[in-house]
Structure 1
């Protein structure tokens, strides 16, 4: 009888223990208007910077430690602005924004390397192509908010995007991405 009771207690612990982890996870949305994703593409005649000031970004974090455990960022392609509507319209055509209206990153791992540094791995979906990427993120706390800043480069060709051209000369293949996400509370490091 005592053995059966002990087995029942152990089974209950093993069944309920994973639920404890699920309940200790919380999701928080980055502040719209303060967060930004921008791209930089270089043409021999000039450098083009497009900014999306309205990305949808969430992170899941462990309530007991404050550690970020996952991240998701979604940006509408047509929300990127280079302050030139003709150029933005052309970029929309180049990346086929009507067929592929968003660019999306979903993390698969978030590793705290130091108190102020994260290494994030995941999948970036752009122009209907999903590829694994990894990048460094600097994490800081300012005015009661957690700020994450990072960057990475992608190849237009790898995402099956024809490089835009101006006067018959194509841009570089590299598209540099920079981002800043602002979360409305302090996430412990």
Structure 2
């Protein structure tokens, strides 16, 4: 009888949780070098294995992008970026959301692990999570150092690209 009750409870809780799939938006990175502050590669496609029940603080799972799909406004720069990221050999960049910390209203800290260039490190994003019309909208920001992920910043002439990369997420997920 207890096993039957536990099974029914687990089944009921899985029915209230909702799987979320990527619908639209972009994930953008920003860095710069002296004289050029427009290094803004982005990706507009992602795969998600995310779920959330009726409250945003239950959001968890993985969102993943293909490094080879990163692009900017400069094709030559993109070639160098893909070479440095080794996007052919290490194509996946993922963020595994492990914990949502409520900050009030729709504001949250998304805590998890970022896998980039074959290295996984803890990272947190600050932002908002809201839901309307069957879509979950996430807007969040964070930053990282390329060297923490085994990526050597590119040198151009006598200048080196800034080690810090600012990350901006603005995506919609559908239930």
Partner residue of 1:146? 136
Runs of 4+ in structure 1 off by over 6 angstroms are none
Superposition deviation, residue 106 in structure 1: 1.0
Q: Is the 8 A contact 1:30 1:58 kept in 2?
A: no
CA deviation vs aligned residue, 1:41-90 (integer Å, no higher than 9, x gap): 1111212111111122353011xx24342142211112111111111010
Once the two structures are superposed, the pairs formed by residues 1-189 of structure 1 within 5 Å of their partners are 8=1, 10-31=2-23, 34-47=24-37, 48-62=39-53, 65-67=54-56, 68-141=58-131, 145-184=135-174
The CA distance in 2 between the partners of 1:162 and 1:151, in whole Å, is 23
- Give the number of the structure whose residues are more often strand, by fraction: 2
Deviation sequence 1:86-115 (CA, Å, 0-9, x none): 110100001111111121111111233323
Which one has a bigger Cα radius of gyration?
Answer: 1
| Distance change in 2, residues 1:13/1:144 (3 Å) | closer
Q: What are the ranges of 5 or more consecutive residues in structure 1 without an aligned counterpart?
A: 1-7
Question: 2-side partners of 1:80 and 1:11: how far apart?
Answer: 49
1:15-60 CA distance string (max 9 Å, x none): 43233222321202121xx310011011112121111111223530
User: Could you tell me how far 1:11 is from its partner in structure 2?
Assistant: 4.6
**TM-score under structure 2 length normalisation:** 0.88
SS in structure 2 of the partner of residue 35 of structure 1: strand
Gap change, CA 1:160 and 1:92, over 3 Å in 2: same
Q: Higher mean Cα deviation, 104-113 or 46-55?
A: 104-113
Scaled by the length of structure 1, the TM-score of the pair is 0.82
Greater displacement, 140-149 / 36-45: 140-149
**SS in structure 2 at match of 1:131:** strand
- Structure 2: distance between partners of 1:71 and 1:181: 15
